[in-house]
Amino acid sequence: MRIWITTLLLSAMLPLVAVAADKARKDDRNAQAFAVMQASFVAKGQAGMDRLVQDKTQAACSLYAPGMPPDALAATLLEDNRNRVKYPADGNYLGDWKRGQAVAEEGRGKQSSDDPAEPSGGNCYACHQLDPQQIAYGTIGPSLYRYGKLRGNSEPVLKLAWGMLNDMKGYILCSAMPRFGGKDILTEQQLKDVMALLFDPDSPVNQ
């Protein structure tokens, strides 16, 4: 009987041990990449060596890739990111869709080869369909054609879109989409202009 209980206890512990070992191995994976990359890159232009240091979201999304972080960790990180979203001080979400179109087209910004004095682009078309006239669009993200027309422009709809544009990692933790507000890629005005591209009834996105 005693032997039987011991066996039971041991077998109950085995998955725990395995999880711990797996975690250690995966921890090593980020540490291993960082160590090798630190010794293999040199700062260039605006891309300093600090860019190789991960934040918590990046670390979690790398550690478990191509899978997802465990639920509890994911929930904490989602909340962290969502709480960091800054809403416009004047309460106005929408700028000029024409300027938004230019932001969506522009692919430069933050690369070692880019002029840091120039504003960064959003490069939305790299991954999304927007204006149907622009046929050179990517498919990593969903089509945003008729985004506003399909959803209307009520306060909750605008607020959600603003949040996702600012910090997608507050909504889909390991999304491929950059945190345009949270990582200071786009200015508040640029974000408003892209919002107008999505929601303005005159925007080609909504025709």
Partner 1 sequence: MRRRIQQMRKRLLLGGVIATALGASMLGAQSTSTEDALADYRAMFGDDNPAALWIARGEDLWKEARGSRKVSLADTCDLGLGDGVIKGAYAHLPRYFADTAKVQDLESRLLTCMVKGQGMDEAPIVKNRFGDGDRKSDLEALSAYIIDASRGVAMDLPMTHAQERLAYESGKAIFFYRTGTHDFSCATCHSQSGKRIRLQELPNLSVAGADARDTYTVWPAYRVSQGEVRTMEWRIGDCFRQQRVPELVFGSQAAIDLTMFLAKNAEGGKMAAPGLKR
Quick check: 142 binds partner 1 (CB under 8 A)? no
Residue 151 buriedness (CB in 10 A; 0-12 / 13-18 / 19+): middle
The binding track of 42-81 with respect to partner 1, each residue x by CB under 8 A or -, is: xxx--xxx-xxxx--xx--xx--xx---------------
Contact 173, 68 (CB under 8 A): yes
Quick check: 143 binds partner 1 (CB under 8 A)? no
Quick check: 113 binds partner 1 (CB under 8 A)? yes
Give the tokens for residue 11.
Answer: 């077998």
Look up residue 23 and give its amino acid.
K
Return d(Cα 112, Cα 190) in angstroms, integer: 21
- CB nearer to partner 1: give 148 or 182: 182
95 phi and psi angles, rounded to 5 deg: -105, -135
Quick check: 133 binds partner 1 (CB under 8 A)? no
Return d(Cα 43, Cα 25) in angstroms, integer: 29
- CB nearer to partner 1: give 138 or 152: 138
* Minimum CB distance to partner 1, residue 118 (Å): 15
Residues that bind partner 1 (CB under 8 A): 29-30, 32-34, 36-37, 39-44, 47-49, 51-54, 57-58, 61-62, 65-66, 110-113, 125-127, 135-140, 169, 176, 178-179, 183-185
